Amino acid sequence: MKLVELLQGMTHNAALITFLVSMAPIVELRAAIPIGISLGLGPWQALLVSVCGNLIPVPFIILFIRRIFHWMRVHMPKLGNLVNRLEQKAESHRELVERWKFFGLLLLVAIPLPGTGAWTGALVAAIMDMRLKHAFPAIFAGVIVAGFLVLGITVGFADLFL
């Protein structure tokens, strides 16, 4: 709980903290929205800041992750197993995206559970050699859906519109 206490002491930087947390893999906006609200941001502000932060890494992942993986295999062979696991994870979602195209990628990103999200969606898109102009709109829409779901779970769906 020391991390929570540290973050609570930095409420003057609530938007920045929320933004940075939403950029982090695994936790993404699933953690950023509740953290932002707990630090004093309004629900809609926490959503906006989290969505923006969550989308920042997406183009970089789609455009560069395969080169980064290759570089890691060559220059950091001990991380080869990690790269293999990440690629296998992306491959495990390939069928969903190939079958449902735009909506498959949107769904993969929109489900706010571990192993899904913008990072995973971008990794899948990169492994499938999807062009940024095709992948980004689906990932963007999925992040919006996930953000609304997380926001609704955090503050209650009924309270969103009161």
Model confidence pLDDT, tens digit, residues 77-116: 999 999 999 999 999 999 999 999 999 999 999 999 888 9
Express each pLDDT in 100-158 by its tens digit: 999 999 999 999 988 899 999 999 999 999 999 999 999 999 999 999 999 999 998 77
Percent of the chain with pLDDT over 90: 86
Q: Kindly give the interhelix angle for 132-155 and 102-110, rounded to the nearest 10 degrees.
A: 30
pTM: 0.89
- Give the pLDDT score at 158: 74
Residues 6+ apart with CB under 8 A from 93: 108, 120, 124
Residues 6+ apart with CB under 8 A from 105: 97, 121, 124, 125, 130, 135, 138, 139, 142
Q: How far is CA 46 from CA 5, 24, 110, 124, 159, in A?
A: 19, 15, 17, 27, 15
CA separation for the pair 7, 143 (Å, rounded): 24
What is the residue type of 70? H
